[in-house]
Amino acid sequence: MREPDRIIRVKTVLVRTGLSRSTIYRKIAEGTFPAQLKISTNGTGWHESDINRWIADPTTWRPKRDPNRTVSWPPEEAL
């Protein structure tokens, strides 16, 4: 059986990627970094597998189309 995909928070993403917070959010807006998931009212996180794929090949990374995943970016309040 496949292991469930962990959700990691922004501090972990910052450490693993070596990017600044503002660079991560700029890259999300550009579509060159995985978008975060809304995990609670005030919390977001990333699928660990998405971050691992980005780390493995950041220059050619593009989002995977998975109909079973829901991504809440941009936040509904921003629309």
* pLDDT tens, position by position, 46-75: 999 999 999 999 988 887 766 555 544 444
* pLDDT tens, position by position, 2-60: 667 899 999 999 999 999 999 999 999 999 999 999 989 999 999 999 999 999 999 88
- Residue 38 φ/ψ, nearest 5 degrees: -80, 120
Range of the domain at 27: 1-58
- pLDDT at residue 65 in the model: 66
Q: Does residue 70 sit within a domain?
A: no
Q: Does residue 75 sit within a domain?
A: no
Question: CA nearest 49: which of 38, 31, 67, 34?
Answer: 34
Q: Does residue 35 sit within a domain?
A: yes
Q: Does residue 18 sit within a domain?
A: yes
Q: Does residue 72 sit within a domain?
A: no
